[in-house]
Structure 1
Amino acid sequence: MVATEAGRTTYRVAEAARLAGVSASTLRLWETQGLLAPQRTQTGQRIYSSADVALLKKIAYFRSERGLNPAAIREALEHDETFSSPENGNDNVGRRLRHLRRSIGKTLEDVASDVGVSASTLSSLERTSQGVSFKTLHDLAEYFGTTVSDLSGEKIDAMSEVVRSGEWKAWPATTPGVTVQLLVEGARMMDCHRFVLAAGAASEGAYRHVGEEFIHVLSGQIEVVLDHDKFFDLGAGDTLYFESRRYHSWRNRHDGETILIWINTPPTF
């Protein structure tokens, strides 16, 4: 058992298997069958949250007590509205994505194929609002004709002129190692965010959208790649301004946290 940087308890594969009452090889089999998609460490080691363990127990029940095959288990989990992360009170991203998908009559497999992710990853995201890259989250928002900010519940009705230091609201923790805090509240002409990136955190792919972006590095070091071949290494005090229609990706190159001010206008991310 280990603890993440956010203080959540996570489990290695052997411990998660023991808690679910199955073998470690069974967990790996279920993963290949698209029943779950555990997060991984920077070295590729599987880690399971308490929500993942609860899911494993549910899968074990469907398999042993009801005799369902993998396809039937996936369908049962998809329609089990009561099953969501018990430790993540803010699972609105997953709920919004499920609602959007169902509103256009698409299955998990349909959307996963169109966007280029696995059905198990999308299923896990809908249930727990966690476990995907920034690129995947952006691609899903674009697919459904919305923005990441909207999916994350940023466009609240109430507005506040002043946000005090340390009182920033945060997006749900959809992407491992990435914390996004709101520096400005309400529906504004700019998305103003404070990004806190753990060592090695990255977008895991390039994305683009309309608008313009401004980055100011407060501490640490980040590599931003524009148009797939223009590399910018930014350190504390550096800034970068670019058109959002250009493909852009990023990675924390620092061995500790990197903290940024990141502004998008209009609010299209």
Structure 2
Amino acid sequence: MPPKRTAAAVSSSLRPQARQPAASRLGFLTVGQTARILGVSASTLRLWESVGLIAPVRSNGRYRLYSPELLKVLKRIKYLREVQHLNVPGIKRELGPATGPRAAKEPKPLGPKLQRLRARAGFPLVDAAKRAGISTGFLSSVERGQANASVATLQRLAAAYGTTVMDLFQAPKGRDRLVRPADRRVLEMHSGVRMEMLSSGATMLQSMLFRVAPLSGSDGSYSHQGEEFIYILSGKLEMWLDELECFVLNEGDGFWFESTLGHRWFNPGKVDAVLLWINTPPTF
């Protein structure tokens, strides 16, 4: 038998707006409501805001509020990101005038650097794309700054060109024993992955600090010579080896594997995964 309802409960059910958030009554959506409608995480919305794609209004309590007009812009951004595979500069060009006053410092574009590496290796566009397992059109878009390559794609391109992803950091030639946080070389991709070099001039290892946004990752498998060690500083990381073994690494976990195994990784959590990643020899 269903539980009895009091008169107050019945009266409350006749006033549905009284139970809605104040933002909804004013025609705005909260960050949680907006994320559910779009099928993305709240952290993704904050990431799009931090790179200057959107600028939601703020309530008196400083909560983010999203108007119906901004929701249309967000749907367009999601389409350009997931279907057209455009990076932030490409999305901004498609959107036209800025959707808000906030702006963020753009990562240095990788396209020109990749184009120079391909030219130095002597590969036509078609051959380079085939070696990396991507389409010629996509590689052309990456080199022109209209699309963003994943970590896996960057590694395969670098290997095809006879170099490493580390060469994309444009690190100085010196051998500094001490590297302070402000002096770290950074490689940041709009796919939600940020890599910081922790050492300069080391010849037998690569040491990097990775920050992986929620629901972001390598977007594909890659392999190379050597061995790797990962230590999870915070968050969690899902690691697949040869598509046969899956490991979920949590804060405080250490993980070792042979680099020759095909490996791909992904952050299944709701917060950034921050990890120390060491390769030896420096083949990544």
Structure 2 length-normalised TM: 0.65
State the shift of 1:144 in Å. 1.0
Whether the 8 Å contact between 1:13 and 1:48 is mirrored in structure 2 is no
Tell me what 2:175 maps to: 159
5 Å-filtered alignment, 1:136-147, equals 136-147=153-164
Question: Does 1:169 pair with 2:212?
Answer: no
Identical positions, percent: 34
Q: Which of the numbers 7, 17, 39 marks the counterpart of 2:81? A: 39
Tell me, in whole angstroms, the C-alpha distance in 2 between the residues paired with 1:176 and 1:222: 16
Q: Which of the numbers 128, 132, 148 marks the counterpart of 2:165? A: 148
Whether the 8 Å contact between 1:205 and 1:249 is mirrored in structure 2 is yes
Tell me, in whole angstroms, the C-alpha distance in 1 between the residues paired with 2:264 and 2:258: 13
Question: Does 1:237 pair with 2:280?
Answer: no
Question: Does 1:117 pair with 2:134?
Answer: yes
5 Å-filtered alignment, 1:47-62, equals 49-54=88-93
Whether the 8 Å contact between 1:220 and 1:259 is mirrored in structure 2 is yes
RMSD of aligned residue pairs (Cα, Å): 3.2
The 1:117/1:211 distance shift into structure 2, 3 A limit, reads same
Q: Structure 2: which 5+ residue stretches go unaligned? A: 1-44, 55-69, 97-104
State the shift of 1:228 in Å. 1.3
- Of stretches 133-142 and 93-102 in structure 1, the one that deviates more from structure 2 is 93-102
- C-alpha offsets along residues 108-139 of structure 1, whole Å, 9 cap, x if unaligned? 33422342213332123213396111111111
Number of residues of Structure 1 aligned to a counterpart in Structure 2: 215
State the shift of 1:107 in Å. 3.5
Whether the 8 Å contact between 2:51 and 2:106 is mirrored in structure 1 is no
Tell me, in whole angstroms, the C-alpha distance in 1 between the residues paired with 2:213 and 2:220: 17
The 1:215/1:254 distance shift into structure 2, 3 A limit, reads same
Tell me, in whole angstroms, the C-alpha distance in 2 between the residues paired with 1:189 and 1:99: 26
Tell me, in whole angstroms, the C-alpha distance in 2 between the residues paired with 1:256 and 1:148: 25
Structure 1 length-normalised TM: 0.68
Tell me what 1:209 maps to: 224
Tell me what 1:134 maps to: 151
Whether the 8 Å contact between 2:87 and 2:190 is mirrored in structure 1 is no
Q: Structure 1: which 5+ residue stretches go unaligned? A: 17-23, 29-37, 58-86
